[in-house]
Amino acid sequence: MNEQKVRPNLLTFNSVLKALRRCGFLAKTFSPQTLNEMKALGITPSLATYEHILAVFYKSGSNTEVLQDVLTELEGTSFTCQDPNDGERQREEMMSSCLDGKDLELGYKVHSLVEVGENWRLLGDSYQQGLYYGRFFNLLCMMEHIDVVLKWYSRIVPSVSAPPSGCNLLQALDTDSRLDLLPTIWKDIKALGHDNKVDLVEELLSLMAREEHSPGVFCCVCSGY
């Protein structure tokens, strides 16, 4: 390319990094060199660039310093889609890694990146957004204090996403003896179309059976289901 005076662009380097992902141990040598050359030419990496770097160096639940370094470099950055591979996949995979590693601090860092400017638009359609927020919220349910979990719940549901279909929220309420909130959670589940998930409803009914409620609450749940 240099001999023919062809200047590489972002897509050129991202294609090289994408190819290096299949090169085994050689990728760990040449990926940083490629990234450095890219920056030397004044080309700003995109989300796809960092996805390729993470794919080479990072395995879910381990080697978290690589993910930490990437998030530190991206902190406060507002992104626009520059590569067809930019978008929801990177955020979703980063949050999945945080969930697998039960790393709450990294989870907050990923989400803070989503909240910069209009980065949330790169989360994709409502289905992809639901996957992302479901992973983020399940991480909170596992690792955060219940009062903080409930604040996030009121912020996310239903304005941003439906309640996660998993049972981590119910388990968190059970662990912290907040079963008094089950009727409210049930109303949200029903209103947002999750009342057809048998395992979720059975888990909720099992917890409600252990707590004293007015008869009207059970009638509401049973008749609605």
pLDDT in tens, 139-198: 999 999 999 999 999 888 877 766 665 558 888 888 888 988 888 888 888 887 777 888
Q: Which residue has the tokens 């590693």?
A: 101
pLDDT reading at 15 higher than 80: yes
Cβ contacts of 37 within 8 Å, gap of 6 or more? 13
Q: Are 139 and 98 in contact (CB under 8 A)?
A: yes
- What is the Cα–Cα distance from 183 to 53, expressed in whole angstroms? 45
Q: What pLDDT is recorded for position 112?
A: 92
Q: Are 144 and 176 in contact (CB under 8 A)?
A: no
pLDDT reading at 211 higher than 70: no
Q: What pLDDT is recorded for position 128?
A: 81
Give the model's confidence band at 63: pLDDT under 50 very low, under 70 low, under 90 confident, else very high. low
Instruction: Report pLDDT digits (tens) over 126-151.
Output: 888 888 888 898 899 999 999 999 99
Q: Among the ranges 15-19, 89-93, 161-165, which has the highest mean pLDDT value? A: 15-19
For residue 34, list its beta bridge partners. Answer: none
Give the model's confidence band at 217: pLDDT under 50 very low, under 70 low, under 90 confident, else very high. very low
pTM of the shown model: 0.78
Instruction: Report pLDDT digits (tens) over 105-115.
Output: 989 998 998 89
Instruction: Report pLDDT digits (tens) over 64-73.
Output: 677 788 888 8
Instruction: Report pLDDT digits (tens) over 26-40.
Output: 898 899 999 999 989
Instruction: Report pLDDT digits (tens) over 46-55.
Output: 888 988 888 8
- What is the Cα–Cα distance from 54 to 112, expressed in whole angstroms? 19
Give the model's confidence band at 94: pLDDT under 50 very low, under 70 low, under 90 confident, else very high. confident
- What is the Cα–Cα distance from 108 to 171, expressed in whole angstroms? 21
Q: What pLDDT is recorded for position 37?
A: 92
Give the model's confidence band at 11: pLDDT under 50 very low, under 70 low, under 90 confident, else very high. very high
Domain ranges of the chain: 166-225
pLDDT reading at 61 higher than 80: no
